[in-house]
């Protein structure tokens, strides 16, 4: 399988006379892997994805899928692309098979290949019965059908806008596992608010804020930069609350969560973390010493500038 | 920034789960066929299809029942002296059915992509928008002609009842149905055009009916008062469907209204009707494609 690519070059988008939703955003990826596209609501994530697939026209710059501008040749640009944007809804009168069959046929699959692909997706995504009408499905089931539609024909590039939106925890796990499997030989651009999802799936990150790229790097490099400033400690046995005084001078604060659990805030430095662990072990044997939040969540909060409150 | 995500190349595929099926380049024509069947499958299961079909069946059946009740003599002698004339009279309402069907199936055919999630399903596929439009246009035409065909079938049954089976002028019936199909194409061109710029599907249906029937009929009446032939009017052009079967066809008729005044009513000739329909198709179909091609998914 040849590898896919996507590129946005100086991409800007404004609606009417309003401020730009995207301002000269540029990035290019090729090969295989998963790129997390992060940012608060209104940052321009979905707009970027829409521009990439030609659902919107750029105000400036250009987008390319596998080297082809979708505004110039939609069919060629989207040939090797599966896109899940916003909330796709196949006609409610169709059944699951018909909805997926049309996608397979449009992507050039033979009847037998469509059947094979539908069966594959049925298994991968635990789809509802193929004869069931789309209009009768739950939100989560519809989302899985839409996700299946992006995978039919095995396109090289997957553009996923919050792919686990509307899914229950078990379905989210299913999709995360699938994405981890797919990223080995597909290129995935995934916007999400789920930091756990991004942490588990993505190799690279793009942080977007107010239509501008704030940071673009590998996940491990971003994680290295971020100092988590809070840890949860769980002791093997109950400990007295006043034992927390032993951490004075190193901990900025200790919250006693239960007889066996404390939450400690500190300066985030690695040396401080090592000393804190040692001090805690002096109180009682430690069975767990972990960050209270995901590293990416901390990174997200640190990177996103505070939006001033409206007067 | 340019980045290669996986510099070591692709990792092996997980066994048995992800495989690449063989994909061949698919022509626009093949995709058009796929979209036509998809859309046809959708239309044939919608409430609007069953509702309109039931309405046409009801009106056609009632018309036939009243004629049967009036008796053969009344039908044959009073006003409908020949099978052709009978059919022409019975099919006079066909433009209305076609306009209603065009509004129902064409009025939201394109706006559905920008007002519901359907667009996020269809417009991200590797299909050119004109091909999508053409598939939907073909499906809407087939459904519209099918509904009108019911009216034709009831009328044919009436001919067989009143004049006997050999009396059915099949050649003219087919010709009339052909003109009805062209009228359907014209009405759908306008409906698709409306659908390409309105946002709400319901508005598309309403605007199409208002424009094609209420608007044109009103304007045509005003023009007739001024003794101007309403060659711009779609319902006027639709009159050609019945004209095909009309043995006593009169193109224009002057009606005295007193005080030395008169006004003229026109009936479109078949050629004239077809020319008007062709003009609507030539203007509105490319315009629909242009607007659809340029429309953005901003919702």
Residues of A in contact with B119 (CB under 8 A): 55
pTM equals: 0.86
Give residue B73's pLDDT.
Answer: 67
Mean pLDDT, rounded, for A52-56: 95
**Nearest residue of chain B to residue A119 (CA atoms):** B17
Note whether ipTM > 0.85 here.
no
CATH number at residue A234: 3.30.70.260
Check residue B3 and give its pLDDT: 60
Say if residue A56 is in the same domain as residue A140. yes
Give me A20's structure tokens.
């730009």
Span B151-171, mean pLDDT?
88
Query: Distance, in angstroms, between A269 CA and closest chain B CA?
Result: 30
d(C-alpha B64, C-alpha B90), whole Å: 9
Chain B contact present for A266, CB below 8 A: no
CB–CB contact B21 A117 (8 Å):
yes
Residue A178, Cα to own-chain centre: how many angstroms?
13
User: In angstroms, how far is the first alpha carbon of chain A from the final one?
Assistant: 55
- What is the distance in angstroms between the Cα of A124 and the nearest Cα belonging to chain B? 7
* Distance to chain A for B133, nearest Cα, Å: 14
For residue A53, what is the nearest residue in chain B, using CA coordinates? B124
* Beta-carbon separation of A108 and B7 below 8 A: no
Measured between CA atoms, how close is A307 to chain B, in angstroms?
24
Mutate to test the interface with B, among A70, A185, A189, A208 (most CBs of B within 10 A): A185
Q: Which residues pair with A67 in a beta bridge?
A: none
Give the tokens for residue B121: 């399903």
Residues whose CB falls within 8 Å of the CB of residue A271, separated by 6 or more in sequence, listed in order: none
For residue A304, which of A207, A192, A168 has the smallest C-alpha distance? A207
- For residue A106, the SS3 value is helix
- Confidence (pLDDT) at A34: 96
Which pair of tokens denotes residue B227?
């003794």
- Domain residues of chain B, as ranges? 28-199+209-294
- A238/A259 same-domain check: yes
Residues A55 and A188 in one domain: yes
pLDDT above 80 (res A203): yes
What tokens does B102 get?
A: 């065009």
The residue behind tokens 């995978």 is A151
Res A1 pLDDT > 60: no
CA B55/CA B52 separation, integer angstroms: 5
Partners of A81 in beta bridges:
A157
A151-170 pLDDT per residue, tens: 999 999 999 999 988 888 88
CB A147 within 8 A of CB A84: yes
Alpha carbons B60 and B57: distance in angstroms, whole number: 5
- Which whole-number Å values give the CA distances from B277 to A79, A97, B93, B182, B257, in the listed order? 37, 39, 17, 7, 32
The mean pLDDT of chain A is: 89
Residues 175-214 of chain A with CB under 8 A from chain B are 181-182, 184-185, 187, 203-204
pLDDT value, residue B11: 37
Residue B19 pLDDT greater than 60, yes or no: no
A89 within 8 A of B299, measured Cβ to Cβ:
no
The pLDDT of residue A130: 94
- Judged against a pLDDT cut of 90, whether residue B119 lies above it is answered with yes
In whole angstroms, what separates CA A85 from the centre of its chain?
13
- Rounded Cα gap, residues B36 and A92, in angstroms: 17
Could you tell me if A261 and A188 lie in one domain?
no
* Residues A143 and A9 reside in one and the same domain: yes
- Position A271 in a domain: yes
- Please tell me the distance from the alpha carbon of residue B31 to that of residue B20, in angstroms, as a whole number: 21
Per-residue confidence at B17, pLDDT binned at 50, 70, 90?
very low
How far apart, in Å, do the first and last CA atoms of chain B sit?
30
Task: Give the pLDDT mean for A217-242.
Answer: 83
Verify that A208 and A233 share a domain, yes or no: no
- What is the residue range of A243's domain? 229-292
State whether residue A135 sits within 8 Å of chain B by CB: no
CA distance B103 to B91: 19
Residues of B in contact with A99 (CB under 8 A): 121
Query: Cα separation of B63 and B60, whole Å?
Result: 5
Answer yes or no: do A132 and A196 share one domain. Answer: yes
Tell me, yes or no, whether A196 and A234 share the same domain: no
What single DSSP character describes residue A86?
A: S
pLDDT band at B237 (very low <50, low <70, confident <90, very high): very high
User: Are A77 and A155 within one domain?
Assistant: yes
The model's pLDDT over A63-103, given as tens digits with 9 standing for 90+, comes to: 999 999 999 999 999 999 999 999 999 999 999 999 999 99
Q: CB-hemisphere CA count at 13 Å for B88? A: 20
Q: Helix, strand or coil for residue B163?
A: helix
Residue-level pLDDT at B110: 92
Rg (CA), chain B: 24
Q: Say yes or no: A101 and A62 in one domain.
A: yes
Whole-number average pLDDT of chain B = 86
Residues A11 and A104 in one domain: yes
Query: Does residue A208 contact residue A42 with C-beta atoms inside 8 Å?
Result: no
To the nearest whole angstrom, how far is the Cα of B140 from the nearest Cα of chain A?
15
**Within this chain, do residues A187 and A240 fall inside the same structural domain, yes or no?**
no
Domain count, chain A: 2
- Euclidean distance between CA atoms B162 and B142, whole angstroms: 30
């Amino acid at each position: 399988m040849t590898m896919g690519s996507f590129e946005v070059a100086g991409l800007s988008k404004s609606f009417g006379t309003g401020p730009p939703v995207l301002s000269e955003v540029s990035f290019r990826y090729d090969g295989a892997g998963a790129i997390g596209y992060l940012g608060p609501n209104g940052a321009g994530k979905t707009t970027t994805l829409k521009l990439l697939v030609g659902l919107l026209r750029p105000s400036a710059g250009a987008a390319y899928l596998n080297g082809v501008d979708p505004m110039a040749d939609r069919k060629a640009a989207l040939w090797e692309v599966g896109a899940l944007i916003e909330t796709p809804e196949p006609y409610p009168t169709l059944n699951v098979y018909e909805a997926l069959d049309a996608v397979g046929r449009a992507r050039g699959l033979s009847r037998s290949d469509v059947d094979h692909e539908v069966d594959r997706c049925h298994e991968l995504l635990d789809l509802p019965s193929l004869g069931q009408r789309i209009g009768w499905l739950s939100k989560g089931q519809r989302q899985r059908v839409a996700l299946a539609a992006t995978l039919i024909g095995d396109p090289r590039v997957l553009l996923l806008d919050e792919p686990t939106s509307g899914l229950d925890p078990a379905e989210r796990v299913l999709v995360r596992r699938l994405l981890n499997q797919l990223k080995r030989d597909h290129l995935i651009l995934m916007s999400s608010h789920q930091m756990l999802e991004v942490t588990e799936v993505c190799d690279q990150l793009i942080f977007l804020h107010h239509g501008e790229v704030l940071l673009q790097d590998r996940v491990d490099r971003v994680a290295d930069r971020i100092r988590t400033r809070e840890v949860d400690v769980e002791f093997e046995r109950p400990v007295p609350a006043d034992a927390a005084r032993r951490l004075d001078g190193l901990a900025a604060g200790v919250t006693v969560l239960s007889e066996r659990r404390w939450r400690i805030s500190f300066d985030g430095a690695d040396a401080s973390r090592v000393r804190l662990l040692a001090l805690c072990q002096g109180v009682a044997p430690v069975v767990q010493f972990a960050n209270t939040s995901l590293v990416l969540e901390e990174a997200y909060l640190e990177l996103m500038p505070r939006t001033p409150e409206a007067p | 920034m340019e980045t290669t995500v996986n510099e070591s190349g692709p990792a092996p595929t997980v066994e048995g789960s992800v495989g690449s099926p063989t994909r061949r380049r698919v022509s626009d024509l093949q995709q058009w066929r796929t979209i036509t069947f998809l859309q046809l499958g959708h239309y044939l299961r919608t409430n609007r299809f069953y509702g309109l079909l039931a309405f046409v069946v009801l009106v056609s059946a009632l018309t036939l029942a009243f004629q049967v009740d009036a008796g053969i003599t009344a039908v044959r002698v009073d006003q409908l002296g020949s099978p052709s004339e009978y059919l022409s009279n019975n099919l006079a309402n066909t433009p209305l059915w076609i306009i209603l069907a065009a509004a129902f199936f064409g009025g939201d055919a394109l706006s559905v992509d920008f007002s519901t999630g359907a667009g996020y399903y269809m417009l991200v596929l590797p299909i050119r928008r004109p091909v999508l439009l053409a598939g939907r246009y073909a499906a809407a035409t087939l459904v519209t002609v099918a509904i009108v065909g019911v009216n034709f079938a009831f009328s044919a049954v009436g001919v067989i009842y009143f004049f006997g089976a050999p009396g059915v002028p099949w050649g003219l019936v087919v010709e009339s149905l052909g003109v009805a199909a062209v009228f359907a194409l014209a009405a759908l061109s306008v409906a698709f055009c409306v659908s390409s710029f309105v946002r709400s599907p319901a508005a598309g249906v309403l605007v199409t009916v208002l424009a094609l029937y209420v608007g044109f009929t009103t304007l045509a009446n005003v023009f007739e008062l001024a003794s101007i032939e309403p060659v711009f009017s779609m319902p006027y052009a639709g009159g050609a469907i019945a004209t095909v079967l009309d043995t006593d066809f009169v193109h224009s008729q002057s009606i005295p209204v007193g005080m030395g005044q008169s006004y003229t009513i026109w009936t479109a000739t078949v050629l004239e009707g077809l020319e008007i329909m062709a003009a609507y198709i030539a203007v509105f179909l490319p315009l629909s494609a242009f607007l659809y091609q340029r429309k953005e998914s901003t919702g």
